[in-house]
Every structure is written in structure tokens, then in C-alpha cells.
């Protein structure tokens, strides 16, 4: 009955776990959720007000499929000031979240048989989107502390490589690709017929490290890179669904054509709010960074007290990716939920068994409770 296209999509390995957690919550059980992929802060009021004003002013109709001119101008300014990237208007597109920007990019670039290099542990959405676009994800397993280098990229290129996907800071590891390595990756790829998709959505949540966009290394690399970013993570705006991409105008045009035939434009009201976010709310993520650093240090200290867990300190984003001394992290996570009522994301969801991810985008109180329960669980049923 279903198409071959949709059959390519793998159901999420955490579906059952999430359904169970939801059921427990509905029964009123005190479940601690450490799986959040979003900040627990409210979207800043000025941004919400800009959305409300847009409604009052009647900005409630279709916009240009690739986004309003005013928002594109704000995005151009963001790229220029934050990333030293001088894109032109026709080189940017506004999408329904970075997720749609990524899907558009894969879809307009990939043909059957093309390979996309993806470095694991990785966000599973990439893998599913690449398959839906008709290409083959080539998943390369990184070793702890999961830092991508040019050497690793080089070793894994084949005649079929169409795209190299990079994500820094990374989900789920929080690892950042070091600047010299970004430059070496750029050098390695600049004369090859290979595209780069650079997902930079956690840029603003790097902790004490300045971000480098690969596209700004030189003009050649800029022309073959699609830089993906958004405001979901940086401005606590996951529900508004605004992301954006910068790249070669031919690619951006194709992405815009695809978007026009699939979702028309991103929500007009959210676009108005996003202008406010990009223009005026830059202080918000400084506050977020400070708070996240406190939480990260707190989690690090608590994790050190738990025997048999091994982890690297994340350099950005809001996740710890923690090693268990056993392969089946999905089964372990299910038992943790049953026994101690804590939700974590098992490594299976990131193509890395034997690990689990916890988010520190939740309050210190929630973290304290959750980590106490994890400690008790590990002590009762030692990992090794
Ligand atoms: N890229 C990465 C690495 C993510 O982790 C996420 C969301 O979890 C996204 C992109 C999607 O962001 P958006 O909400 O803008 O679609």
C-alpha cells in the first residue's frame, strides 16, 4: 500500500521509549525528562510581541516562498556580523526550521547512488532525509571525543561522495570541529566536485569557543557550502519554525522552488518575530550561554560521582553523550525509565550503541533529581 519512498524511512528507535514516558506522565507518574532538544527558557517577550503585532497589522498572508525581504535582510546581516559571510539576497532562503532547510538541500543536490558522508554519533534526521532524497548515507564512526578532522574526511571520500555533512557544535556529542581542522577540511575539498552542508544551529550555544563557519574560509569553499542555521536553539523558538540557509544562488533557487511546491512559505507571523530575534535579541543567548555553563558544570560534577560512566565535557550545545560499559543502551534506557522514571535518549538513536544522551537544557532542580536517580540506578544495577 505504501510507497517505496516512505518505506525508506526507519521508525525512530526511541518511539516505544517515548510512548512509554508519555503514558507514565499521563498517569501522573513523576517522570524526569532529560531528553529535551530545546531550551527551557521562554521565547523573549519582545519577540512574542513582534509576532502579535504582525497579526494585528494583518501580516497573515502568503509571503514569497523563500521568505520576506525584511527577514532575509536580517539574516544577511547575521551572516555578515557573526560569520563574516557576505551573502547576497538571492543566496539566502528562510525555511520552516533548519530541518526543512536541510531537507531542501539534500533533495536538490542528491541523485540515486550519490553518497553523503555523515559522521556518527549523529542526529538521525540527517540519515532519514538523505535516504528520502534518494542518496546513500555513508556513516563514519568517530572515536571519542568525537572530534572530526580533515584526515578522517579524507580517508572516507569515495568517487561517489556528493556531500560532506558537518555539524559543529554537534548533536549529540557537543563536540566542536577545531578551527585548524575546519580550514584543512576546506582545503581538502575546495577543488573537488563535492558539496558541503554545514549545520550550525548550535553556533550560539558554544561555550567559551568562537564559532568558525567553513564557508568563510575562502570564496571557493563558500560557493560549494550550504550553511544551515536558525533561531530554534539560539532564541528558544523551536515552535516558531524558522531556520535559514545561505549558499550558491542556483542551489538556493532550487530549494526555494521545492519549498514553493511543498510548504509555500514559512509562517508569516513567525518570520516577523524572527526579524526581532535577529535584530534585537542578541543578549538573550549570552544569558543562555551563562546559564548553560552553570548547568554543564553541575552535570559534569554529578556525573563524576557515578561509577562506570565515561564522558567528555561538551564544548557547545546542551547535551552530554555518556558511555556505558554495555552495548545495548536502548534496553538500559528502557530499564532506567521503568525503574527510576528518567527519560534519556539511547545511543541507538544516534548510530552509536552503548551510549546515552542527556540534555542540560532543563532546570538545575530537574537535573539534580534526574542525576540522583541515574546514580541510584547504576549503583543498584552496576553497568559492568
Ligand atoms: N540540526 C540539529 C543538529 C538539531 O539537533 C536540530 C534539532 O534538534 C535541528 C537541526 C533542527 O532545528 P530546527 O528546529 O531549526 O528545525
Q: How far is the CA of 334 from the centre of ligand 1 (A)?
A: 25
Q: 337: pLDDT confidence band, cut at 50, 70 and 90?
A: very high
Q: 19-78 pLDDT, tens per residue?
A: 888 899 999 999 999 998 899 999 999 999 999 999 999 999 999 999 999 999 999 999
pLDDT tens sequence across 338-356: 999 999 999 999 999 999 9
330 Cα–ligand 1 center, Å: 22
Beta carbons of 73 and 174 less than 8 angstroms apart? no
The closest-lying atom of ligand 1 relative to the alpha carbon of residue 242 is 15
- Name, in order, each residue with C-beta under 8 angstroms of 255's C-beta and a sequence gap of 6 or more: 66, 93, 95, 101, 104, 105, 108, 245
Predicted local confidence at residue 281, as pLDDT:
73
C-alpha 257/C-alpha 92 separation (Å) is: 13
Q: Which residues pair with 32 in a beta bridge?
A: 342
Cα 189 vs. chain centroid, distance in angstroms? 23
Mean pLDDT confidence for 322-338: 93
What rounded mean pLDDT belongs to the chain?
95
Q: 230 in ligand 1 pocket by Cβ < 6 Å? A: yes
Nearest CA to ligand 1 atom 12: 98
Judge if the beta carbon of residue 238 lies within 6 A of ligand 1. Answer: yes
Classify residue 289 by burial, with Cβ atoms within 10 Å: 0-12, 13-18, 19+.
Answer: middle
| C-alpha 99 to ligand 1 mean position (Å) | 6
The CA distance from 271 to 290, in Å, is 27
> Measured in angstroms, how far is the CA atom of residue 201 from the centroid of ligand 1?
6
Ligand 1 pocket, 123 CB below 6 A?
yes
Determine the average pLDDT of the residues in 248-261.
Answer: 98
Helix (H), strand (E) at residue 23: helix 15-26
Check pocket membership of 104 for ligand 1, CB cut-off 6 A.
Answer: no
Query: What mean pLDDT comes out for the span 199-213?
Result: 91
pLDDT band of residue 142 (cuts 50, 70, 90) is: very high
Ligand 1 pocket, residue 352 CB under 6 Å: no
Edge-to-edge strand ranges of the sheet holding 355-359: 310-311, 319-323, 355-359, 345-346
**Distance, CA of 41 to CA of 54 (rounded, Å):** 23
What does pTM read for this prediction? 0.96
Rounded Cα–Cα distance for residues 7 and 40 (Å): 35
> Model confidence at 382, in pLDDT bands (50, 70, 90)?
low
Asked whether the predicted pLDDT for residue 193 surpasses 80, the reply is: yes
DSSP assignment letter at 13? T
CA distances from 289 to 6, 235, 296, 318, 365 (A): 39, 11, 10, 10, 18
Work out which ligand 1 atom sits closest to the CA atom of 96: 16
Q: Collapsing DSSP states into helix, strand and coil, what is residue 383?
A: coil
Q: What is the pLDDT of residues 284-299, one digit of tens each?
A: 888 888 999 999 999 9
Pocket test of ligand 1: the residue of 123, 127, 166, 361 to mutate, having most ligand atoms within 8 Å of its CB, is 123
Cell numbers at 341, concatenated: 522514571
Ligand 1 site, residue 201, Cβ cutoff 6 A: yes
225-230 vs 243-246, strand pairing mode = antiparallel
Measure CA of the first residue to CA of the last residue in the chain; give whole Å: 46
State the pLDDT at residue 384.
Answer: 52
User: 171: Cβ below 6 Å to ligand 1?
Assistant: yes
Amino acid at each position: 500500500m505504501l510507497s517505496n519512498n516512505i518505506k525508506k524511512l526507519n521508525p525512530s528507535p526511541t518511539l516505544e521509549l517515548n510512548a512509554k514516558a508519555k503514558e507514565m506522565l499521563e498517569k501522573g507518574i513523576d517522570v524526569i525528562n532529560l531528553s529535551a532538544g530545546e531550551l527551557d527558557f521562554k521565547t523573549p517577550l519582545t519577540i512574542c510581541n513582534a509576532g502579535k503585532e504582525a497579526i494585528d497589522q494583518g501580516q497573515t498572508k502568503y509571503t514569497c516562498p523563500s521568505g520576506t525581504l525584511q527577514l532575509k535582510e536580517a539574516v544577511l546581516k547575521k551572516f555578515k556580523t557573526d560569520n563574516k559571510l557576505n551573502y547576497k539576497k538571492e543566496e539566502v532562503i528562510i525555511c520552516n526550521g533548519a530541518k526543512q532547510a536541510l531537507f531542501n538541500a539534500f533533495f536538490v543536490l542528491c541523485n540515486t547512488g550519490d553518497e553523503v558522508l555523515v559522521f556518527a554519533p549523529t542526529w538521525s534526521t540527517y540519515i532519514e532525509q538523505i535516504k528520502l532524497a534518494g542518496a546513500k548515507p555513508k556513516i563514519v564512526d568517530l572515536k571519542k571525543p568525537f572530534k572530526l578532522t580533515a584526515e578522517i574526511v579524507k580517508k572516507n571520500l569515495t568517487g561517489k561522495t556528493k556531500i560532506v555533512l558537518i555539524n559543529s557544535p554537534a548533536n549529540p556529542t557537543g563536540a566542536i570541529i577545531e578551527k585548524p581542522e575546519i580550514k584543512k577540511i576546506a582545503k581538502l575539498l575546495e577543488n573537488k566536485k563535492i558539496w558541503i552542508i554545514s549545520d550550525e544551529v548550535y553556533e550560539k550555544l558554544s561555550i567559551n569557543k568562537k564559532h568558525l563557519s567553513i564557508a568563510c574560509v575562502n570564496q571557493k569553499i563558500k560557493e560549494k557550502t550550504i550553511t544551515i542555521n536558525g533561531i530554534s536553539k539560539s532564541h528558544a523558538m523551536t515552535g516558531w519554525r524558522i531556520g535559514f540557509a545561505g549558499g550558491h544562488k542556483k542551489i538556493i533557487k532550487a530549494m526555494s522552488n521545492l519549498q514553493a511546491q511543498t510548504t509555500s512559505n514559512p509562517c508569516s507571523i513567525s518570520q516577523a518575530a524572527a526579524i526581532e530575534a535577529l535584530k534585537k535579541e542578541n543578549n538573550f543567548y549570552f544569558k543562555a550561554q551563562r546559564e548553560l555553563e552553570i548547568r554543564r558544570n553541575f552535570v559534569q560534577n554529578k556525573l563524576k560521582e557515578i561509577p562506570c560512566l565515561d564522558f567528555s565535557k561538551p564544548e557547545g550545545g546542551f547535551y552530554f553523550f555518556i558511555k556505558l560499559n554495555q552495548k545495548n543502551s536502548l534496553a538500559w534506557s528502557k530499564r532506567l525509565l521503568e525503574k527510576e522514571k528518567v527519560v534519556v535518549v539511547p545511543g541507538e538513536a544516534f548510530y552509536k550503541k552503548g551510549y546515552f544522551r542527556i540534555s542540560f537544557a532543563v532546570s538545575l532542580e530537574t537535573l539534580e533529581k534526574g542525576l540522583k536517580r541515574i546514580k541510584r540506578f547504576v549503583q543498584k544495577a552496576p553497568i559492568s
